[in-house]
């Protein structure tokens, strides 16, 4: 894996003085039967640029809900959230999409690759949502570069069905990285992987982190959490 060449694709320079994540009093409820359930009661979280944190907690404790809010995929019912200095709560949906598309890379447990598309095409997809046009030649070059970084340079034309679980997750990481995000959010990225593949992904995260990418990873696996600078526990709608 060649990480020596760190490119910066973000549209505006990262402000190193501002936290990447600064969320206060996040509150989220969902309708449940006749009533509602309070999933997040009062979540505060701050992440400095370049930090690697893990979130653990029981199934149903709201970890994915929190990741969706921090990833600007959902809006909290109450609370404030600043992402790299941007006050997310005041942004309209278009501005939110722009922020998401340029700043955040997502990696989910089910890697969410499109089965009909090749690994290369899947990795090119995030460029469809970039507000500023990138030439097809550049898109391809950057997708190949991202795939080479995760050790999949030899699998460009393969469809997801022909890859192993670990390779699929590495492809998902390449897709998250291709826009050179400020923040990578990973929700149980190693949930389906064996020990060797998990270690491979962890090494990849470690390398990314050493290059300054801010990483927030939800995991049930103590081995994954061990690699983080900080482990947070979500319990009763709060992070401790």
Task: HSE, CB side, 13 Å, CA atoms: give it for residue 2.
Answer: 8
What gap in Å lies between CA 194 and CA 125, rounded to an integer? 28
Q: Any contact of residue 237 with ligand ATP (CB under 6 A)?
A: no
Number of chain residues interacting with ligand ATP (CB under 6 A)? 10
Q: Any contact of residue 39 with ligand ATP (CB under 6 A)?
A: yes
What gap in Å lies between CA 236 and CA 38, rounded to an integer? 9
- By beta carbon distance, the residue nearest Mg ion is 64
What gap in Å lies between CA 116 and CA 159, rounded to an integer? 7
Listed in sequence order, the residues at least 6 apart from 178 whose beta carbon sits closer than 8 Å to its beta carbon are 9, 105, 123, 124, 126, 127, 142, 143, 146
From the list ligand ATP, Mg ion, none, partner contacted by residue 126 (C-beta under 5 to 8 A by kind): none
Selected range binding ligand ATP among 8-16, 57-65, 137-145, 146-154, rule: CB under 6 A:
57-65
Q: Any contact of residue 64 with Mg ion (CB under 5 A)?
A: yes
Per the listing, tokens 């998401």 go with 100
Q: Any contact of residue 214 with Mg ion (CB under 5 A)?
A: no
From the list Mg ion, ligand ATP, none, partner contacted by residue 30 (C-beta under 5 to 8 A by kind): ligand ATP
Q: Any contact of residue 65 with Mg ion (CB under 5 A)?
A: no
Selected range binding ligand ATP among 63-71, 97-105, 114-122, 148-156, rule: CB under 6 A:
63-71
Q: Which helix or strand (DSSP H or E) is residue 185 part of?
A: strand 183-187
Instruction: Give the residues lining the site for Mg ion (CB under 5 A).
Output: 64
Instruction: Give the residues lining the site for ligand ATP (CB under 6 A).
Output: 30, 39, 57, 59-65
């Amino acid at each position: 894996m060649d990480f020596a060449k760190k490119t910066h694709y973000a549209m505006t320079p990262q402000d190193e003085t501002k936290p990447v994540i600064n969320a206060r009093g996040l509150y989220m409820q969902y309708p449940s039967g006749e009533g509602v359930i309070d999933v997040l009661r009062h979540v505060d979280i701050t992440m400095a640029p370049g930090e690697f944190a893990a979130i653990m907690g029981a199934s149903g404790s709201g970890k994915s809900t929190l990741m969706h809010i921090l990833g600007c995929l959902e809006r909290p019912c109450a609370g404030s959230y600043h992402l790299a200095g941007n006050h997310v709560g005041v942004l309209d949906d278009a501005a939110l999409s722009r922020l998401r598309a340029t700043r955040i890379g997502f990696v989910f447990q089910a890697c969410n690759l499109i089965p009909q598309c090749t690994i290369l095409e899947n990795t090119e997809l995030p460029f469809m949502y970039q507000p500023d046009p990138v030439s097809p030649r550049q898109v391809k070059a950057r997708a190949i570069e991202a795939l080479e970084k995760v050790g999949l340079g030899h699998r460009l034309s393969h469809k997801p069905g022909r890859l192993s679980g670990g390779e699929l997750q590495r492809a998902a990481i390449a897709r998250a990285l291709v826009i050179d995000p400020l923040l990578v959010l990973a929700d149980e990225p190693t949930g389906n992987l064996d020990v060797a593949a998990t270690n491979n992904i962890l090494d990849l995260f470690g390398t990314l982190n050493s290059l300054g990418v801010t990483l927030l990873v939800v995991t049930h696996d103590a081995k994954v959490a061990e690699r983080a600078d900080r482990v947070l526990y979500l319990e009763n709608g709060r992070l401790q």
